[in-house]
Structure 1
Amino acid sequence: MIKIPHTVVLAALVTMGMFGGIASADAVSGPGSGFGPARVTVNDNQSEITVVGEGNLSSIPDVMRLNTGVEVRRTTAGAAFADARKAAAKLTEALLGAGIAAKDLQTNELSLGPVYDNYPVVAGYRAAQGVEAVVRDVDSADKVIDAVAAVGEEARLNGVSFEVSDTRKALKAARDAAFEDARARAEQYAGLAGDELGRVVSISEEGGTPPSPLMFSGAMAADKASISPGQQNISVRVRVVYELR
């Protein structure tokens, strides 16, 4: 067989498993596959192959952000605001008592406005103060939520989100998987071309999928059985150029 020096450029990505660790599947070109056709070029001076690999890792979040607060309605603006501040102080005390550190409490809403019966007739005034509490021990989530509910009728649960506090280990594992996948793909195509894989010419990390908070509604938070951090996926995409021999 006569071998022609050539450069093979593959616009191929890897689809990784979404849960339970790292998995991979071969990319398939064609309608509905989500991948464009591979591009092959011939170069008499240099033989290279370029592949793109992707690594995806699932991690269990270890931090919960609780979006809570208080809301009151009174006949006057002054009374509404004063009572909302009192309820907010009670809420803060409850959160601190549930083990939340003062540095992990942040006011994220402060509002006061009229409530209309038949506009423009004012029926009263609404005042609200929101607090975001960072729960660093997810196992104590039920205890914290119960403490908020115990504040009274002014208390509000507006939702929770979960996140991974330290993504460095997951990112490293995802990078390892992406590089291993790129090499496996390159070896496969080099063999199909009748060549052997040579040294790495260049490596570049492309845009992957950063971890994003998992959101749950306040209604779900009211049920202890639904307080689960679930999983978050972190993906890394790497482009590697190899020499062909």
Structure 2
Amino acid sequence: MIKLSHTVAAAAFVTVGMFGGAAFADSGSDVARVVVNESRSQVTVVGEGSLSSPPDVMRLNTGVEVRRASASQAFADARDAAARLTKALLKAGVDAKDLRTNELSLGPEYDTYPKVSGYRAAQGVEAVVRNVESADRVIEAAVAVGEEVRLNGVSFEVSDSRKLLRAAREVAFKDARSRAEQYAKLSGRELGQVVTITEENVTPPRPVAYGAGLVAEKASISPGQQTVSVSVRVVYGLG
């Protein structure tokens, strides 16, 4: 379940039908502008909504790495270790469709070039953990496979970011209307119908990444919070 918290901010622009001239008012972070226009009475407000939610998906970037005297042995041992890692991740609750190979490499290593000292083989595995509460168990299962395992970091994300964005739009629109009502009252007018709505400055939630060192040192994985924000420009008529 996504838990939401929000903050709001806005700027407003007011166009009121009057009798000549223009006035400007300084209201700190919010700016109100009254423009004289006998043919059109409108108020334009920019509302902003920001919502936060704890991520519910973790991406574990792991894999195996071996060094052997021959290329064939290095490759064979890396494949074997990768198979054991995959089996451990499946047993820890990761679905087969949420596992993918993201690296496969084999190459020589040198003491002094061009003298080959051995061969390094690696195979990377990305695991999508859809139950963040099981993150520690999945990581521990991977590490238990053996010394060939490498942890290359984790990232967290919100699975249904569109739901979060829709909720942020509601916050922004409600804030815009509240501002418009205030400016209509201050100008002695009645707030009319919406003339135009423009969505702008959408900031979707971005995956939060942690390095391998943090993964290894923390006893418990903490996904933190992700935030999505959106601003909406709404023009209302004034009666």
For normalisation by structure 1, the TM-score amounts to 0.83
Mapped to 2, the partners of 1:117 and 1:187 lie a distance apart of: 75
Structure 2: 5+ residue stretches without partners:
13-27
Q: Is the 8 A contact 2:60 2:128 kept in 1?
A: yes
Is 1:42–2:26 an aligned residue pair?
Answer: no
Change (3 A) 1:160 1:208: same
- CA-CA distance at 1:25 after TM superposition: 4.3
Secondary structure of the 2:206 match is coil
Task: Give the CA RMSD over aligned residues.
Answer: 2.3
Secondary structure of the 1:65 match is strand
Secondary structure of the 1:79 match is helix
Match of 1:113 in 2: 107
- CA-CA distance at 1:119 after TM superposition: 2.5
Bigger shift: 228-237 or 111-120? 111-120
Pick the aligned partner of 2:192 from 195, 198, 215. 198
Q: Residue by residue, what CA displacement relative to the aligned partner does 1:146-189 show, whole Å, maximum 9, x if unpaired?
A: 11111111000001111111234322321111001111222233
Secondary structure of the 1:225 match is coil
Match of 1:135 in 2: 129
Q: Is the 8 A contact 2:165 2:204 kept in 1?
A: no
Is 1:233–2:217 an aligned residue pair?
Answer: no
Pick the aligned partner of 1:212 from 206, 209, 215. 206
Is 1:23–2:7 an aligned residue pair?
Answer: yes
Mapped to 2, the partners of 1:189 and 1:226 lie a distance apart of: 50
AA in 2 matched with 1:120: P
Specify which structure has the higher proportion of strand.
Answer: 2
Match of 2:70 in 1: 76
What is the aligned length? 222
Change (3 A) 1:53 1:37: closer
Secondary structure of the 1:108 match is strand
- CA-CA distance at 1:122 after TM superposition: 2.1
Q: Is the 8 A contact 2:62 2:153 kept in 1?
A: yes
Q: Is the 8 A contact 2:184 2:191 kept in 1?
A: yes
For residues 173-192 of structure 1, the aligned pairs below 5 Å read 173-192=167-186
Is 1:222–2:216 an aligned residue pair?
Answer: yes
AA in 2 matched with 1:79: Q
- CA-CA distance at 1:97 after TM superposition: 1.0
Q: Residue by residue, what CA displacement relative to the aligned partner does 1:109-163 show, whole Å, maximum 9, x if unpaired?
A: 1111121222332221111100000111111111111111111110000011111
AA in 2 matched with 1:182: A
- CA-CA distance at 1:196 after TM superposition: 2.8
For residues 53-92 of structure 1, the aligned pairs below 5 Å read 53-92=47-86
Secondary structure of the 2:6 match is coil
- CA-CA distance at 1:76 after TM superposition: 1.7
Percent of residue pairs identical: 68
Mapped to 2, the partners of 1:38 and 1:242 lie a distance apart of: 15
Mapped to 1, the partners of 2:98 and 2:158 lie a distance apart of: 16
